[in-house]
């Protein structure tokens, strides 16, 4: 980690600590074509055991609970913080018991609410080194495939007091063990997460797989050798990482990626294991690889 990041993180931590008792939500709602639809409130629900969906209808946020504290994955848009907070309360939990917030990737629709969620919970935010650069910047770094969409389109509230995680590092909150898997490609700091959820003698290997689609600003080229943190090789390695994970239940930053609505329908019809699908991570990886190969072909034309 660079000295610059270390200094900024320390300053941010001190500011957060001094203002812990008086911090107020400061987000400005993000405006975009899909933002209103993405942020439509929905009822939270149990996915499996101690894992719950607490996000709005179009942007995933996952709560993993324990008696010793909780972990929250992703924060949606800036305006999603209020939705996530309300959903956690509806389930009978308290956001002040969230000890750790982790992120998939640093775009405004998944990192935008983290700053205010951190203020509400006083939780530590744990991210990859590349993601920390973006969170400190309040927007993607210049090697992000979507950087060229511009500051106004890409910006989100700045985050401080972060813990930098390495590939394969395990983080703990009470009995919860969650593992970081660095999966750059969609962004330089993209991170997927895995953990185990158990209840009444049954356990499930859970995977929150980061977005693996090669969406970019028009001028960005994944085949450009100058893009060292986001390249064809890193993207392929990330896809293989997801393919090889032990995976009973797949989750991801956008609910449509894991057919949340279809699985919820089955669950409401009485299928208690509606989200269990041992082949989901492999199919997710296969789909990502097909998209990447199409993108490579387009860049070669």
Q: Read out DSSP for 67-89? A: TT-EEEE--BSTTHHHHHHHHHH
pLDDT of the residue at 144: 96
Please give the C-alpha separations between residue 229 and each of 186, 192, 223, 283, in angstroms, as whole numbers: 10, 16, 12, 25
How far is Cα 171 from Cα 168, in angstroms, rounded to an integer?
10
Domain ranges, residue 179: 3-300
**Domain at 215, CATH number:** 3.60.15.10
How far is Cα 235 from Cα 138, in angstroms, rounded to an integer?
24
Q: How does pLDDT run across 125-165, given as a tens digit for each residue?
A: 999 999 999 999 999 999 999 999 999 999 999 998 899 99
**130-159 CB burial, b ≥16 within 10 A, e <16:** bbbbbbbbbbbbebbbbbebeeeebbbbeb
> What is this structure's pTM?
0.91
CB distance 206 to 249 below 8 Å? yes
Q: How does pLDDT run across 193-215, given as a tens digit for each residue?
A: 999 999 889 999 999 999 999 99
- For 124, phi then psi, to 5°, come to -80, 140
Domain tally for the chain?
A: 1
């Amino acid at each position: 980690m660079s000295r610059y990041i270390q200094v900024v993180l320390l300053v941010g931590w001190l500011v957060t600590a001094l203002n812990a008792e008086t911090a107020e939500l400061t987000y400005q709602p993000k405006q975009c074509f899909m933002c209103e639809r993405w942020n439509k409130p929905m009822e939270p629900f149990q996915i499996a055991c101690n894992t719950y969906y607490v996000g709005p209808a179009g942007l995933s946020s996952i709560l993993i609970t324990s008696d010793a504290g909780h972990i929250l994955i992703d924060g949606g848009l800036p305006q999603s913080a209020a939705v996530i907070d309300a959903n956690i309360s509806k389930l009978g939990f308290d956001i002040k018991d969230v000890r750790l917030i982790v992120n998939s990737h640093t775009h405004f629709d998944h990192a935008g609410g983290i700053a205010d969620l951190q203020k509400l919970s006083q939780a530590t935010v744990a991210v990859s080194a590349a993601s920390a650069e973006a969170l400190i910047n309040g927007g993607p770094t210049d090697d992000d495939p979507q950087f060229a969409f511009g500051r106004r389109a890409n910006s989100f509230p700045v985050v401080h007091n972060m813990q930098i995680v390495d590939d394969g590092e395990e983080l703990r909150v009470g009995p919860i063990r969650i593992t970081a898997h660095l999966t750059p490609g969609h962004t330089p700091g993209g991170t997927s997460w895995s953990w185990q959820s158990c209840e009444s003698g049954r356990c499930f290997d859970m995977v929150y797989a980061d977005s693996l689609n090669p969406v970019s600003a028009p001028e960005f080229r994944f085949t450009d050798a100058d893009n060292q943190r986001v390249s064809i090789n890193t993207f392929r390695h990330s896809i293989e990482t997801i393919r090889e994970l032990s995976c009973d239940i797949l989750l991801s930053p956008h609910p449509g990626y894991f057919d949340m609505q279809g699985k919820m329908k089955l669950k409401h019809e009485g299928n208690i294991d509606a989200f269990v699908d041992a082949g989901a991570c492999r199919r997710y990886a296969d789909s990502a690889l097909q998209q990447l190969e199409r993108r490579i072909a387009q860049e070669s034309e």
